[in-house]
Amino acid sequence: MGLVHWARIALSVLLFGATGCADHHLRIPEDGITDLDVLLVVDDSGGMRDEQALFVDALPGLLRGLSRGGIGPELRFAPISSIRVGVVSSDMGSGGNPVVACSEPTRGEDGVLRTEGDTTRRGCEESYPSWAQYQAGDSLDGFIDHVSCVASIEEYGCGYEQPLEATLKALTTRDSTFEFFPSDTGHADGANAGFLRRDAAKLIIILSDEDDCSSDEPERFFFTSSSDAAALNARCAQNPERMRDVTRYVEGLRDVAPADQLFFAVIAGIPTEHTGEPNAADLERLLRDPRMEIRVGMDDLLVPSCQHGASGKASPPVRLVKTAEQIQQIGARVHLGSVCQGSYDSVVDGILALFEYR
């Protein structure tokens, strides 16, 4: 173990020990994570305004917690000294077909790291570098502002959500065996070059009120030139055989980071009592929950798996949960949060808990 690492631990003990925190509260791994690359995958489709706002409100707590080893006086893990954050949207186009709100039907935003800031938020600039960077000793404020401004995306994006495909394309190199519609390669050493660091741990957080609809033949879901994106979600859920197998994304993420350096969080239509860091039995119970069943209502829309407020609804995220299940099976740590929660503070707490020494 290096001298710098021991120095970080010694400083943490001095700082937190002075507050009267008992030694058994210190959960510091023998090989603490020093570098972390974070990818935020944000659903920018219509109806995501409230969920995005809650997510952005929770980001300062998450980023401060990662940099300080937890929130509050209790040190939960060794502070992470170098954090890099990039943001992509779930918009991967609509298979080349014209769909309402899918302004770029062939590739959408294509898993390219976002640089556009939300100028409707106070203090946000029009554009930013492709990722935000924090190094121990830096001011956290500018780092947090960068991430928050870019993660706040206009909510009128494509309603044909493909967050898993966006994740994979963002993090996959051109020489990978993975191919993307229409006959494309990944962006990790192209448009997103420099974002990923070889020895850094990886944290992926997906935020969506719909399930993933990643398909290798997305054009098969469009029956007319004016296909409604809301109805598309039902078509995707009712035709799982047309979806890309979720093992594609498990294998892809395993190529990006070893399992013990991979952290995966989903904030989607999870019924609130199923949130947290699940074990295998928890995941099995969740997938058996009747609210996770794919059903189409009288309005031709999916029956929601959870609801918040007067009109906020979320669809059963079956594919996202199955992806989390398989990622956990390879040894990575997983957290499930719900978009139907009135605050995402517990989600932040759960994600930070993934970094604790076990």
Residue 255 contacts residue 194 (beta carbons within 8 Å): no
Domain-wise residue ranges, the chain: 35-353
How many angstroms from the chain centroid is the CA of residue 106?
Answer: 23
Q: Tell me, what's the pLDDT at 311?
A: 63
Between 163-171 and 247-256, two packed helices, what is the crossing angle to 10 degrees? 30
CB neighbour class for 254 (10 Å; exposed up to 12, middle 13-18, buried from 19): middle
For 243-269, how does the pLDDT look when each residue is reduced to its tens digit (9 = 90+)?
999 999 999 999 999 999 999 999 999
Q: Tell me, what's the pLDDT at 222?
A: 63
Q: Tell me, what's the pLDDT at 74?
A: 77
Between 280-288 and 318-329, two packed helices, what is the crossing angle to 10 degrees? 160
State the Cα–Cα distance between residues 64 and 59, nearest whole angstrom: 8
Largest CA distance in the chain: 67
Place of tokens 């006086």: 73
Q: Tell me, what's the pLDDT at 16?
A: 36
Q: Tell me, what's the pLDDT at 297?
A: 86
Residue segments in the chain with a per-residue pLDDT below the cut of 70:
1-31, 219, 221-230, 310-311
Q: Tell me, what's the pLDDT at 6?
A: 42
Number of Cβ within 10 Å of residue 119's Cβ equals 13
State the Cα–Cα distance between residues 271 and 337, nearest whole angstrom: 9
Residue 39 contacts residue 326 (beta carbons within 8 Å): no
Report CA-CA distances (Å) from 131 to 38, 105, 192, 280. 9, 25, 9, 34
Report CA-CA distances (Å) from 88 to 101, 108, 163, 172, 358. 17, 11, 9, 14, 31
DSSP secondary structure letter of residue 335: E
Q: Tell me, what's the pLDDT at 15?
A: 36
